[in-house]
């Protein structure tokens, strides 16, 4: 997979508070650009399905990795595009957190391989600001 997004922010909140907001799937509409609604089947654990509605379509991601309080990876597949979004949280001082998003994409099929650079750019523009938006939500800005 090729790196598409790699961003991080220091958020003025302890890791448990960041995890609480990060995994409040219905509340993600406050910081995920373009998402109109989001829900999860069950708990935030490996194998859980996260449903979201964006750009007039229902979509789904699967949690492929989860370390509660530390990191969660969501995998989405559409056509010949597979995207992994890994959110991670590390303590940064006594009451702050370093929060990161790493997104990787893989393309299958000639049309997706040719469109790969355009798709990566669109993903960066749409989702590259997620952690900054999460920071604004958590810090009450």
H-type alpha helices, the chain: 15-22, 110-127, 130-139
Reported as a pLDDT band with limits 50, 70 and 90, residue 6 is very high
The span from the CA of 42 to the CA of 39, in Å, is: 9
User: Pick from 38, 31, 25: which is nearest to 11 by CA?
Assistant: 31
For residue 1, what pLDDT is reported?
64
- Per residue in 82-109, pLDDT (tens digit) is 999 999 999 998 899 999 999 998 888 8
The span from the CA of 137 to the CA of 131, in Å, is: 10
Which pTM was predicted?
A: 0.91
The span from the CA of 4 to the CA of 124, in Å, is: 7
For residue 37, what pLDDT is reported?
96
For residue 119, what pLDDT is reported?
79
């Amino acid at each position: 997979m090729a790196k598409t997004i790699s961003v991080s922010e220091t958020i003025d909140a302890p890791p448990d508070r960041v995890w609480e907001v990060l995994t409040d799937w219905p509340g993600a509409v406050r910081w995920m650009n373009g998402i109109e609604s989001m829900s999860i089947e069950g708990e935030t654990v490996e194998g859980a399905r996260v449903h979201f509605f964006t750009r007039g379509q229902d979509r789904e991601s699967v949690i492929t990795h989860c370390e509660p309080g530390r990191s969660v990876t969501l995998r989405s597949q559409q056509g010949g595009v597979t995207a992994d979004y890994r959110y991670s949280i590390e303590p940064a001082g006594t009451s702050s957190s370093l929060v990161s998003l790493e997104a990787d994409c893989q393309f299958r099929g000639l049309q997706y391989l040719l469109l790969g650079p355009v798709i990566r750019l669109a993903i960066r523009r749409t989702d590259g600001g997620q952690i900054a938006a999460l920071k604004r939500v958590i810090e009450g800005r």
